[in-house]
């Protein structure tokens, strides 16, 4: 991100016809958008393109969720038919929806809006060994990069992350522990709905995954992000990490959705720390690991409504707020130009 444009944006915020600082967090978002575009005022962050990366998880076998694995493929069909919450929210904010199969454990018929980049039919069980090979993880990162660059080439001015993958909050918790050194107890949540016994089992699965894959001990030194992704990540996590890198390389902001995106952004940040400057935290989900990830990334979320759905829904809700932050720098009069007395 461009430090000069950020300084200009900060200085401009204080000359606009509003008390200094009175737009709170949105002032920081405006500065971030200016830094991403290396321009003040920044361009409007749009049009918006949501990519929902879908994949399955071998750890599903450990009973970490009450939902059957087949729901991943069924929800892909629901996205393509326009019937999911992500579709409704995308319609609300004027975003396009692209669904990317990076690892669904079923054959998906070709359909408009579906990009097939299947790398495997789901991952292996991360609680018994690495979820993927290093080659698979790299291929998934590359798939995410390609999808991101493609959307920007077709005109997108803002990328939004989405995900679908039954059991993927378990992989997210493991990634967050590996990258931040957090304990599984603190980073693991109920996801889309396990009970107390299920949560305890899930914490145990995450702990075992870290042990089996040699990732315990609080990330004492620099970790190899591809090794971590391969060991305890999902194909959609790796792809979202690549998608974030594509946004940064294109100087386009990327709005992160929930805990899956937060875990993926940790991997992206480990690969290329500067990419965090292009990230906006769309929301904070009800998953406790998400707050851990955002704190590690230094990002403050825009929307805090106890969402725990995924799909990109939190990123979509945040998108108009990001647009509003850009408009402040682009459209609001200064004290001088409006003839308003400064205090």
Nearer Cβ to a copy of itself, position 21 or 221?
21
CA distance 255 to 79: 19
Q: Is 213 in the site for a copy of itself (CB under 8 A)?
A: no
Residue identified by tokens 């965090």 is 276
Q: Active-site residue 236, yes or no?
A: no
Q: Is 135 in the site for a copy of itself (CB under 8 A)?
A: no
- Specify the 3-state DSSP secondary structure of 338: helix
CB 24 within 8 A of CB 3: no
**Token duo for residue 14:** 């204080």
Given the rule CB under 8 A, which of 23-31, 123-131, 171-179, 246-254 is the region that contacts a copy of itself? 23-31
Residue identified by tokens 């929930």 is 258
In the sheet that 114-116 helps form, which strands lie side by side, from edge to edge? 114-116, 95-103, 48-55, 158-164, 254-256, 279-281
In whole angstroms, the minimum distance from the beta carbon of 255 to a copy of itself comes to 14
Given the rule CB under 8 A, which of 17-25, 128-136, 157-165, 176-184 is the region that contacts a copy of itself? 17-25
Q: Is 19 in the site for a copy of itself (CB under 8 A)?
A: yes
Residues 48-77 that bind a copy of itself (CB under 8 A): 66-68, 70-71, 74-75, 77
Given the rule CB under 8 A, which of 4-12, 110-118, 151-159, 333-341 is the region that contacts a copy of itself? 333-341
In whole angstroms, the minimum distance from the beta carbon of 62 to a copy of itself comes to 16
Among 62, 78, 127, 182, binds a copy of itself (CB under 8 A): 78
Among 7, 39, 272, 286, binds a copy of itself (CB under 8 A): 286
Q: Which residues contact 343 (CB under 8 A, 6 or more apart)?
A: 19
Given the rule CB under 8 A, which of 100-108, 126-134, 233-241, 323-331 is the region that contacts a copy of itself? 323-331
Q: In the beta sheet, which residues pair with residue 281?
A: 256
Q: How far from each other are the two terminal CA atoms of the chain, in whole angstroms?
A: 33
Q: Interior CA angle at 263 toward 260 and 265, to 5°?
A: 105
Q: Which residues contact 77 (CB under 8 A, 6 or more apart)?
A: 108
CA distance 93 to 55: 26
CB 297 within 8 A of CB 279: yes
- Interface map 230-269 toward a copy of itself (x if CB under 8 A): ----------------------------------------
Name the H helices within the chain. Answer: 3-13, 25-37, 71-81, 85-93, 134-153, 168-180, 184-187, 196-212, 225-232, 235-249, 259-271, 288-297, 313-331, 335-338
In whole angstroms, the minimum distance from the beta carbon of 83 to a copy of itself comes to 3
CB 79 within 8 A of CB 52: yes
Among 3, 4, 25, 61, binds a copy of itself (CB under 8 A): 25
In whole angstroms, the minimum distance from the beta carbon of 46 to a copy of itself comes to 11
Nearer Cβ to a copy of itself, position 166 or 268?
166
Among 133, 211, 305, 336, binds a copy of itself (CB under 8 A): 305
Residues 83-112 that bind a copy of itself (CB under 8 A): 83-85, 87-89, 91-93
Catalytic residue (one of 70, 211, 311, 331)? 311
CA distance 202 to 342: 56
Given the rule CB under 8 A, which of 102-110, 174-182, 259-267, 312-320 is the region that contacts a copy of itself? 312-320
Torsion sign, CA atoms 165, 170, 176, 178:
negative
Q: Is 192 in the site for a copy of itself (CB under 8 A)?
A: yes
Instruction: Give catalytic residue positions.
Output: 311
Site residues, a copy of itself (CB under 8 A): 16-26, 66-68, 70-71, 74-75, 77-78, 81-85, 87-89, 91-93, 192-193, 286, 302-309, 313, 316-317, 320-321, 323-324, 327-328, 330-333, 337-341, 343
């Amino acid at each position: 991100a461009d430090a000069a444009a950020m300084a200009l944006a900060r200085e401009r915020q204080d000359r606009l016809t509003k008390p200094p600082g009175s737009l709170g967090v949105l002032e920081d978002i405006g500065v971030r958008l200016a830094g991403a575009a290396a321009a003040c005022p920044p361009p409007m962050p749009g049009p918006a393109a949501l990519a929902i990366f879908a994949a399955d998880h071998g750890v599903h076998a450990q009973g970490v969720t009450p939902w059957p694995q087949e729901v991943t493929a069924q929800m892909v069909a629901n996205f393509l038919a326009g019937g999911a919450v992500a579709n409704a929210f995308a319609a609300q904010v004027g975003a396009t929806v692209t669904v990317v199969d990076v690892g669904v454990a079923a054959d998906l018929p070709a359909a408009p809006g579906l990009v097939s980049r299947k790398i495997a039919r789901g991952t292996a069980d991360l609680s018994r060994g690495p979820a993927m090979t290093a080659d698979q993880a790299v291929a998934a990162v590359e798939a995410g990069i390609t999808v991101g660059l493609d959307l920007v080439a077709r005109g997108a001015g803002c990328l939004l992350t989405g995900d679908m993958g039954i059991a993927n909050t378990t992989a997210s918790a493991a990634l967050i522990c590996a990258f931040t050194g957090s304990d599984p107890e603190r980073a693991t949540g109920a996801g889309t709905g396990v009970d107390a016994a299920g949560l305890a089992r899930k914490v145990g699965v995450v702990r075992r995954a870290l042990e089996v894959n040699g990732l315990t001990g609080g990330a004492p030194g620099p970790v190899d992000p591809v090794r971590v992704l391969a060991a305890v990540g999902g194909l959609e996590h790796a792809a979202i990490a690549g998608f974030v890198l594509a946004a940064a390389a294109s100087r386009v902001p990327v709005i992160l959705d929930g805990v899956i995106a937060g875990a993926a952004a940790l991997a992206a940040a480990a690969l290329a720390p500067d990419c965090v400057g292009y990230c906006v935290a769309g929301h904070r989900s009800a998953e406790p690991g998400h707050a851990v990830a955002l704190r590690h990334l230094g990002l403050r979320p825009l929307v805090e409504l106890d969402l725990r759905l995924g799909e990109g829904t939190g990123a979509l809700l945040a998108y108009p707020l990001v647009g509003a932050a850009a408009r402040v720098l682009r459209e609001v009069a200064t004290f001088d130009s409006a003839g308003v007395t400064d205090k």
